[in-house]
Each structure stands twice: as structure tokens, then as C-alpha cells.
Amino acid sequence: MKELILVICAYLIGSIPTALLVSRKFFGIDIRDYGSGNMGATNTFRVLGSKYGTIVMIIDILKGVTAVALFNLLPFYLHHELERTNLMICLGLSAVLGHVFPIYANFKGGKGVATLFGMLLAIQPIIAVSCVGVFLLVLFLTRYVSLSSILGAVMLPICVLWIWNDDVVLYRVFAILVAAMVVLTHQKNIGRILRGVESRVPILKHRDRRKSRRK
């Protein structure tokens, strides 16, 4: 029963509609009426710019971290590693579910990538850093948040199954499912990238201007 209460709390934490709150507070708009219609960091970068996109991304990451950290409220899990890992995964996934289907925003949220990263950061920091390294490298090279998210997610099962070879079955299944989910939820983005019409985030403008002047 206590675990169920924590899972519900994790869902409610994940449901906090960060992008919606920021867009209404500072711009008087509903972020879901613009861009891709998603209530996540990627669309916030696209519609509101890098400053507010960064704010939303950080808070969404913290939602995942905070949800996973709820296991500390049950002393039993502090001394049982396998059970702790399983509970942490359940708490993190509940937060991601809340982000994608937020009860506070008519169940219309974002794609959950930032919250997924926060969850991973709390469970396996080294693997999380590896994934975010891929994300940042791809973002620097392409300025596509969607492509960066996809390749960062694909890095997760590569790390879990082959590089670190983690033996927790639920964690291995989780890694594969996360990569598959991120790819599936970005089908439209993949199509736009292939057509050359995907929006790039407004960063590295000075680099782009220098390139334009050289041309």
C-alpha cells in the first residue's frame, strides 16, 4: 500500500505542466496551441526560445529525479538493492506517465524525454551522463532537439545491455522499451527531418551567422 501511494505521488509530480505554466505566466498563451502542440521542452525551445526552453527542460528533469527519490521514504528499500532498483524504475515511469498524460492539463502533455532523463539520472548517473553527452553532441551539430533526443535514448540500451551489461532484468527491459518509445513518439519529427522541414532550436546563432557571412 505504501508503495502504491508513492507511485501515485510520483505520477502527480510528473503531471506538473511546466511548459504550460511557463507559457501562461510569461506569454499569456497555451503552449499546446503552438508549434507541435506538445507540452514539453522541445516545443518550448521552438516556440518560446532557448531561455524558457532551458527552464522547462531543467524542471522536467527535476520531476524525474524527485519522483525516483521518493523511495527514500521507505527505509526497507535503503538496504535492498534489487528491490530498490525495481521501485525506483516504477516511480520514474509513473512520473513519465504523468508528464505524458498530466492530470492537471486534461491529460495532454509532452513526450517525456526530459523526465525520463531525470529518472535515469537518479537511478544510473553514469549512464545518464553518457546519454546526455550524445544528446548534447547531436544538438551542437544539428540543433535538432528531436534527433538529439532519439539518439540519446538509443544510447540507453547500448549502455545498459553492452557497455555496462547491467544484470537487473527490469532495468534491461526498461532501457529497450524507453528507446523504442522515444523513437515511436518522434515519428512525425523523423519525417520532418527527412523532408528538411524540422525546426531547429534557436541556439548557436553566432556560429550560424559566421557561416552565412563566409558563404
What does the pLDDT look like over 66-90, one tens digit per residue? Answer: 999 999 999 999 888 888 988 999 9
**What does the pLDDT read at residue 172?**
86
CA-CA distance, 115 to 95, in Å (whole number)?
A: 7
Q: Is the confidence at residue 215, as pLDDT, over 70?
A: no
Please tell me whether residue 95 adopts helix, strand or coil conformation: helix
CA-CA distance, 95 to 107, in Å (whole number)?
A: 13
From the centroid of its chain, how far is CA 63?
10
- 8-35 average pLDDT score: 94
Q: Domain containing 121: what range?
A: 2-214
DSSP 129-183: HHHHHHHHHHHHHH--HHHHHHHHHHHHHHIIIIIS----HHHHHHHHHHHHHHH
Q: What is the pTM (predicted TM-score) of this model?
A: 0.82
Number of domains in the chain: 1
What's the CA angle centered on 169, arms 167 and 170, to 5 degrees?
A: 130
What is the average pLDDT value for the chain, to the nearest integer? 88
Angle at which helix 169-185 crosses helix 81-100, to 10 degrees, equals 20
Of 54, 48, 43, the closest CA to residue 23 belongs to 48
- 34-48 average pLDDT score: 86
CA-CA distance, 205 to 9, in Å (whole number)?
A: 41
**What does the pLDDT read at residue 212?**
47
**What does the pLDDT read at residue 209?**
52
Q: Decide which of 36 and 194 is more confident.
A: 194
- 7-25 average pLDDT score: 96
What does the pLDDT look like over 151-184, one tens digit per residue? Answer: 999 999 998 888 777 777 888 888 898 899 889 8
- List of E strands, 93-194: none
**What does the pLDDT read at residue 25?**
93
Q: Is the confidence at residue 38, as pLDDT, over 80?
A: yes
CA-CA distance, 69 to 123, in Å (whole number)?
A: 9
Look up residue 23 and give its three cell numbers: 507559457
How crowded is the C-beta side of 113, counted as CA atoms within 13 Å? 30
Highest mean pLDDT out of 8-17, 119-128, 194-203: 8-17
What does the pLDDT look like over 106-156, one tens digit per residue? Answer: 998 888 889 989 999 998 899 899 998 999 999 889 988 889 989 999 999
